[in-house]
Amino acid sequence: MSHDSDNTTDAVRLTAVHKVYGKRDNQVVALDGVTTRFGRGTFTAIMGPSGSGKSTLLQCAAGLDQPTSGSVLLEDHELSELDETELTKLRRDRIGFVFQAFNLLPVLTVRQNVTLPLRLAGRKPARGRVTSVLEQVGLAERSRHRPAELSGGQQQRVAIARALITEPAVIFADEPTGALDTGTARGVLGLLRHSARTAGQTIVMVTHDPVAASYADRVVFLADGRLVGELHSPTAAAVAERMTRLGAFADDVPLPSSATVAGGRR
C-alpha cells in the first residue's frame, strides 16, 4: 500500500513494545515486542486468549500504563517523552475510554455524565454539541435521567457519548459489550463503527466475541504477548476459526514460529 510509510495516516503507532510485570524472579512478559499501527478513522478489534496481553496493549497505547521498552506514538506525541502533566492533558484532550463496566457517576444525570470530561478540563460544554452527541447515541430524550434508570445498553451509550464529547483522536474500548446482551451489543458496536466512519474517530477495541470483532475493519490477534496475525474486513466465522486455532495453540504446545521470533529478539 502506498501510504504504508506515511505516518500522518496513523493515529497510533506502536514499535517493539515490551511490557514486563513483576520483579526479577517473578516476571510476567505481558507484551513481547508488539509493532503495529492504527490508521486514522479505522476501527480495529484486538483479540486473543485470556492473558494474551490485550488489556496491557490497550493501556500502553492509551498512555494509562508505561511500556518497559519500545515506542508509542499517539498522533505526533511520543508518549515516553511526556511528563505526567502532559500525559494527563493528552489523555483528556485526545483520548476517549469505554470500559466493560460503564463507570458512570450514579448521582449525575446523563447530560452531566457526558459533559464531565469537559468540565474537568475547565471547558464549557457547548449546548449544541452536547445535544448532538446525545442524539448521535440515541439518548437525547434521556438527558435528565440518571444511570440507574437506564438499561445496560443505554448506559454504555452514555459512556460512548462521554468518550465522544471531547472529539478525541482515538477511542480505546476494553470489552465494551462484555456486559451487554446480543441485541444491545449490536447497537453499541454499530455506534462505534458509525463514529469511525462519519466522525473520523479511530477506534481500538478489545473483545473476545467474534461477532463484535466483525464490526471492525481489521482484527489483530495476540497470543502470549505477540501479534500472531490479522484479518481485514473480518467475518465472524473467519474470526471464530482463527480464535479456535489460537486457543488450541495456547492450550497445547507453544507456537514454534513465535518462539523463534522471541528467541531472536531477546
Ligand X SMILES: Nc1ncnc2c1ncn2[C@@H]1O[C@H](COP(=O)(O)OP(=O)(O)O)[C@@H](O)[C@H]1O
Residue 67 near ligand X by CB under 6 A? no
Cβ closer to ligand X: 56 or 184? 56
- Span 174-233, contacts to ligand X by CB under 6 A: none
- Choose among 60, 63, 54, 67: nearest CA to 19: 67
Cβ closer to ligand X: 75 or 230? 230
- Span 19-58, contacts to ligand X by CB under 6 A: 21-22, 28, 30, 48, 50-56
Ordered DSSP codes for 209-229: -HHHHTTSSEEEEEETTEEEE
Q: Which listed residue (15, 16, 51, 55) binds Mg ion by CB under 5 A?
A: 55
CA trace torsion 208, 210, 215, 219 (10° rounding): 70
The answer to whether the beta carbons of residues 67 and 17 sit under 8 Å apart is yes
Residue nearest to Mg ion (CB): 55
Q: Which does 28 bind (CB under 5 to 8 A by kind): ligand X, Mg ion, none?
A: ligand X
Q: Find all residues with CB under 8 Å of 48, minimum gap 6, and list them.
A: 54, 221, 222, 223, 228, 246
Angstrom distance (rounded) from CA 177 to CA 191: 12
Cβ closer to ligand X: 54 or 142? 54
* Binding positions for Mg ion, rule: CB under 5 A: 54-55
| Interface contacts to ligand X, rule CB under 6 A | 21-22, 28, 30, 48, 50-56
